[in-house]
Amino acid sequence: MISASPAEAARLFEKNGGVYWPDMADEIDSPEEILADSLGISVKAARLVLLHVENEVRKNQALILGKVIGLLLKASNLPAMAHALAFASGLDQLNGARSQAEVARELGVTRALLSHYTLGVRDVLSGKDTSFECTKFRKSQASRETFRAKATDPFTAAKAAAIAKRKNQTTTNICN
């Protein structure tokens, strides 16, 4: 039981914007009643809406779980795929691992493979919805695009320069 002096009750009433605290209606309203109030529908209709949403959510969860199990079954490197699943969902329980590079070294695979698996799992978990961006162990999609645009491989840049130079030499020799 909550008890307070009349002065304290008045102070709390003013502090909470003219609302008594704790709001007992909040404590006793069922989810159906809360939904009915917010949508302006009957409690019976709200109950049907909740039931429908619950069934749809359960179906979607089952489909996603099936897709994840399918990824695990067809993975050529199960430990890497299991870690990718942990990375994509942002699990902290990675035995103290701090990055994809660290786990890749432990597994004897490239970080690119682990990143590839992680993005694949992320796509399956999110349905390719960008709002599912758990970036605890990886770059955000926006920063991946920025990195891709700015990243240059010295070998590729030198090769492109050599090809351009060779084309210029060939064009100059043909014209002369």
Q: What is the pLDDT along the chain (176 residues), one digit of tens a residue?
A: 466 677 777 776 677 666 655 666 667 888 888 888 888 999 899 999 999 999 998 998 898 888 889 888 988 899 999 988 888 887 755 667 778 888 899 999 998 898 888 888 888 887 766 556 655 555 666 666 666 666 666 777 788 888 888 888 866 666 65
Q: In total, how many domains does the chain have?
A: 1
3-class DSSP assignment, residue 40? coil
- Answer yes or no: are the C-beta atoms of 100 and 67 closer than 8 Å: no
Q: How far apart are CA 143 and CA 98, in angstroms?
A: 19
93 lies in a domain?
A: yes
Q: Which domain holds residue 104?
A: 76-141
148 lies in a domain?
A: no
98 lies in a domain?
A: yes
29 lies in a domain?
A: no
165 lies in a domain?
A: no
What pLDDT sits at residue 119?
A: 83
17 lies in a domain?
A: no
22 lies in a domain?
A: no
Query: Which token pair is 139?
Result: 């770059």
Question: Would you tell me how many other CB atoms lie within 10 Å of the CB of residue 145?
Answer: 11
26 lies in a domain?
A: no
The pTM score is 0.51
